[in-house]
Amino acid sequence: QAKTLGRNTLCFFDPAMQATVNANAALGADMRIALKEKQFVVYYQPQVDRQGVITGVEALVRWQHPQRGLITPIHFIPVAEDNGMILPLGQWVLETACEQLAAWADWPQTTNLSIAVNVSVHQFRHPDFVDMVMAAIGRTGIKPQRLKLELTESLLADRMEITIEKMGMLKDLGVTLSLDDFGVGYSSLSVLKRLPLDQLKIDKGFVADVLTDPNDAAISRAIITLAQSLSLQVVAEGVETHEQREFLAYQGCDQFQGHLFSPPLPIATLDAFLRNPSSGMMVVTE
């Protein structure tokens, strides 16, 4: 910041900002060790269809830090993006998800569930990304359609041709492609139409105020209509109330994810639920 303001600008020392910088540096240094010592954990948040039936889960990484306790991704994913650790970390999440899909394959109640994995721009841009996805699928023997990759609109900011080509290669592997946090970025209709996507996810920022803010309601409705006209599935994230779910379902939303149904869960908790769904966690409202 100081640099961009130029030489003659006074720059005040901000202790709070410095504390953040220090904390991030410390986290960044811990990260390499954390990966080796298996301190990262994948939680899984269910996604349900219009009938309330679970169709899949999203893999959401957490860090079980020996001193700081469980750290959520907003605190370390941006740090990992900056220091390059997002590559090995993202790869580890991808492989963990594929192994989980393989473990579910021989279980009738889970054999068709999907796992969605968040892919950072750095990861996607890596020249070996497609090969690494292919290797993970091959090694675990999973059906590729059950692996869903969640990409973000920031991918579309530049290098569009390469991005579309790479998405096409991923589609050729058979994986499912989703565009996460949709509506926050700037993808134009003409761009969207060219992408080999299967799904759009409505950002939880719109879902949060869908009943109280007419703009958010209009945007959610527009995203659903857009998805339908492009034959894409549409998933709403951050659904917390029956009323939000009902509004979105009325507009034609196919799937829902949020605290109304379940928070992200450790695998043992999720497995226990999947074995015995009558333990009653999913909300069925139709």
Do the beta carbons of residue 177 and residue 196 sit within 8 Å?
A: yes
Does 153 contact Mg ion by CB under 5 A? no
The interface region with ligand C2E, picked from 73-81, 165-173, 189-197, 212-220 by CB under 6 A, is 73-81
Which residues have a Cβ under 8 Å from the Cβ of 70 and sit 6 or more positions away?
62, 63, 64
Residue 61 interacting with ligand C2E (CB under 6 A): yes
Considering only 126, 143, 204, 269, the residue that binds ligand C2E (CB under 6 A) is 204
Q: DSSP letters of 8-64?
A: T------HHHHHHHHHHHHHHHHHHHHHHTT-EEEEEEEEEETTS-EEEEEEEEEEE
Q: Which of 63, 70, 72 is nearest to 40 (CA)?
A: 63
Q: Which of 139, 259, 266, 279 binds ligand C2E (CB under 6 A)?
A: 259
Question: Of ligand C2E, Mg ion, none, which one sits near residue 259, judging by CB under 5 to 8 A according to partner kind?
Answer: ligand C2E
Are 151 and 180 in contact by the 8 Å Cβ rule? The answer is yes
| Span from 17-25, 46-54, 234-242, 269-277 in contact with Mg ion (CB under 5 A) | 234-242
> Judged by CB under 6 A, does residue 209 bind ligand C2E?
no
60 binds ligand C2E (CB under 6 A): yes
Q: Does 118 bind ligand C2E (CB under 6 A)?
A: yes
d(CA 271, CA 243): 28
Nearest-angstrom CA–CA distance, 195 and 121: 16
Residue from 118, 163, 233, 251 in contact with Mg ion (CB under 5 A)? 118
Between 144 and 258, CB nearer to ligand C2E: 258
CA 67/CA 39 separation, integer angstroms? 11
Cβ contact 180:202 at 8 Å: no
User: Considering the rule CB under 6 A, would residue 254 count as an interface residue with ligand C2E?
Assistant: no
Which positions touch Mg ion (CB under 5 A)?
Answer: 118, 150, 180-181, 237
Which positions touch ligand C2E (CB under 6 A)?
Answer: 45, 60-61, 72-74, 77, 90, 93, 118, 120, 150, 180-181, 204, 237-240, 257-259, 264
